[in-house]
Amino acid sequence: MDLSDEALIKKYRVDGDMTVFSTLVKRYQNRVFVIAYRLLNNSEEAEEVVQDTFVKVHQNFDKFRTENIFASWIFRIAHNLCMDILRQRQRKRSTLVVSFDPQSTVAEEEGDRFVNQPLSQVADEQPNPSQSLDMSEQTNMVERSLNELPEAQKIVLVLHDLQGFSYSEIAEIVGANIGTVRSRLHYGRIKLKELLAPYFSSEVNLPATFR
């Protein structure tokens, strides 16, 4: 029988047995990875976030209050680590200049698609909206559109619609109040609908429960 998070935490605090801690790691590592991957869009960095998250969890284990939800605490740490990486990327991007030399063929920098590429060589990778999309293309399009959302909206959408967290849990993870979470989710979905509109039929199948 699997022990609850609270029971494992208590056991680890008493015994200090690393296998108990590893059980918690195994329980949450994949979900942390999914969130980190969705936020960072890079599996290597997401794996690093998973590792760093649990190292931080271990370092601050004494600070965790058992009245809080352990999962939310883990995901908050992971979220903060992801935000750090995104901020670093932002800073890096803000210092880079796009070349205007049409003859330039300087190789693009790692991690930034258009860095040092002349504007004339920055191709529009979006497919023609009139093209019909098969299933895999549709999911790619949704993923790409999701990545175009502002980070704050994207994380709320990922945590709720992909990971199934409640508004209050999301509020705890992202460090915002429930009203903010609700608002971000609302505007995130509107924005996503706008981004996807050119590629999908405007006809929607209303679920039976809403008819």
Q: How many residues bind another protein (CB under 8 A)?
A: 44
> What are the phi and psi torsion angles at 70 (to 5°)?
-60, -40
Site string for another protein, 10-49 (x = CB under 8 A): --------x--xx--xx--xx--xx--xx----x---x--
How far apart CA 145 and CA 77 sit, in angstroms, is: 26
Helix axes 70-94, 43-59, angle to 10 degrees: 130
Binding another protein by CB under 8 A: which of 115, 142, 152, 176?
142
Name the residue nearer to another protein (CB basis): 118 or 144: 144
Site membership for another protein, residue 176 (CB under 8 A): no
For residues 79 and 57, the answer to whether their CB atoms sit within 8 Å is: no
- If one asks whether residue 90 binds another protein (CB under 8 A), the answer comes out as no
User: Binding of another protein at residue 132 (CB under 8 A)?
Assistant: no
Is residue 114 a contact point for another protein (CB under 8 A)? no
Return all residues near 208 (Cβ < 8 A) that are at least 6 apart.
Answer: none
* Separation between Cα atoms, residue 137 and residue 2, nearest integer Å: 40
Judge contact between 8 and 20, C-beta under 8 A: yes
Residues that bind another protein in the complex, under the rule CB under 8 A? 18, 21-22, 25-26, 29-30, 33-34, 37-38, 43, 47, 50-51, 54-55, 58-59, 138-139, 142-143, 146, 157, 160-162, 166-167, 182-183, 185-186, 189, 192-193, 196, 200, 204-207, 210
